[in-house]
Every structure is written in C-alpha cells, then in structure tokens.
Amino acid sequence: MADEGDLRGLDPFDQLDREAERLDRFFTTLDGSRWDDPSRCEGWTVRDVLAHLASTESYHHACLDDTLSAFLQNGLDAGASDLDGFNEWGLRAYEGRDPAAILDEWRAANAQTRRRMRERGGGTMTTMVPGYPVRLQAFHLASELATHADDVGAPVDPGEVAARTKWRARFSRFAIAEAERDVHIEPTGGANRIQADDSEAVLSDAELVEAAIGRLAPDHPLPPALRTILSSA
C-alpha cells in the first residue's frame, strides 16, 4: 500500500460530496443543444459524460454489494474486454434517453453511493483490488468527479480554486505512488520536482493534477516519457 502521508488531514467524503454537488448544479442548468457541447473527453459530448457517470454508478453499487464479479461478467458477455470497452458498454445503455431522466437517475444513484461509502468510512470494500479501504476509494471517486466536472466546464468558485487544486495535487501524488510508477515527486510549496531516469521537470500543483489524469495540454513541454509515467488514469 502506498504511503498515505499526502492525504493526512483530508476528508474524502466531504470532497466527494462537494464535487457531486458541483456536477449536479451544472447539469441542472443545461437544456437543448448544450447537451451536445463537446467535453474534454475525446469524442464525448457533455451528455456522454453524464451517461458515463450514471453508468459507473452500477460499478460502484456492485462494489458495495460485493457483486463485482457478476457485474464484470455482464460486461464481458456484452463484448467489453478493457476499460474503453466497459465505458462504451455503459454509454450504450443510455442511448436515446432524455438527459433529464439520466440526470435524475445519476443523482439518486450517486447519493446512495456517497451515503453508503460514508457509513463504511473506516472499513473496506470490494473493488478491482480486494479489500480496498473505503476512504481511499472515496478519494478516487472524488477525483473522478472533479475530473469530469472540469471536462464539462462546471464552474468553480474563485474562492475554491486554491484549496481544490491543493487536495487534488496531494491525491495525485498518492495515486501515482499507488500505481507504482518509477518516478520521484518532491513537493516544494505549490510546485513539484519530478525525476525519473534521466528526465526531470518542475510542475505546478495544477499541472501535476492535469498530468496525473491524462489531461495535460498536448503542447505542454513536459517530456513524453514523464507524461506517460505520471498518467495514473
């Protein structure tokens, strides 16, 4: 298990609630053609991101219900063989459905996920890693929701930006270590010195977050080798 020192003092359940509320507020404002706006997820519209979020709640519930094996088998039976395949399987389930109905479904399912995870906060749950700590899974889910909030352009209050970036950078360092990437990251007051083999770079906290979730701009000068190592997505 990776060192959790970077996460000390953070409450993942509060962050999870905050990012879910951000997405809910944003989606509630949308109507008409705005659902067809492109997102940062290549090839996905804003509606696709909502459908993805709704479909992944089935995964979270399977983890909480300890029925993950059956869920995965259903995906395999439907032709999904990797992460992209499972994502597409999830999107297909929402083809032709009204976005407002998808939003209602996601809102209810996500609220249940968050409530059940908070109730089990000190325990473990089934994930792709057996007996995984619920607290750490809540961090992963909070990061996923924050990523997709940024993907669809959900507003972040200026007063939230600094604290939001800080916790996401702290989680990014943990996630990269948890993925056992062969890289050393030294945080230095809002920046991060990155070293791997013969490559070295300094990234701000915001840049580290983007690198860790695979959203760093294509024209960013980070060496390709470091870009690959840092991406924990």
Q: Are residues 68 and 146 in the same domain?
A: yes
Q: Are residues 141 and 171 in the same domain?
A: no
CATH number at residue 65: 1.20.120.450
- The total number of residues written for the chain in this structure: 233
Q: Are residues 30 and 105 in the same domain?
A: yes
Q: Are residues 18 and 122 in the same domain?
A: yes
Q: What angle do CA 158, 162, 166 make, to 5 degrees?
A: 150
Q: What is the domain count for the chain?
A: 2
Instruction: Identify the CA nearest to 23 among candidates 109, 96, 84, 98.
Output: 109
Q: Are residues 40 and 141 in the same domain?
A: yes
- Give the mean pLDDT per block of 10 residues along the chain (233 residues): 89 98 98 94 96 97 96 94 92 95 98 98 93 97 98 98 97 96 92 92 97 95 93 71
Q: Are residues 67 and 129 in the same domain?
A: yes
- Of the candidates 130, 155, 180, which is a domain's last residue? 155
For residue 189, the model assigns a pLDDT of: 85
For residue 50, the model assigns a pLDDT of: 98
- Of the candidates 118, 137, 155, which is a domain's last residue? 155
**End-to-end C-alpha distance for the chain, whole angstroms:** 18
Sign of the four-CA dihedral 135, 186, 214, 183: negative
Q: pTM (2 decimals)?
A: 0.95
Place of tokens 């999870």: 16
CA 71 to chain CA centroid, Å, is: 20
Q: Are residues 215 and 121 in the same domain?
A: no
Contact 168, 179 (CB under 8 A): no
Q: Compute φ and ψ for 163, nearest 5 degrees.
A: -65, -40
For residue 76, the model assigns a pLDDT of: 94
- Of the candidates 118, 134, 155, which is a domain's last residue? 155
In DSSP terms, 193 is beta-bridged to 186, 202
Q: Are residues 61 and 127 in the same domain?
A: yes
Range of the domain at 137: 12-155
* Two structure tokens written together for 40: 């940062």
For residue 3, the model assigns a pLDDT of: 86
Instruction: Identify the CA nearest to 208 among candidates 148, 167, 157.
Output: 167
For residue 232, the model assigns a pLDDT of: 67
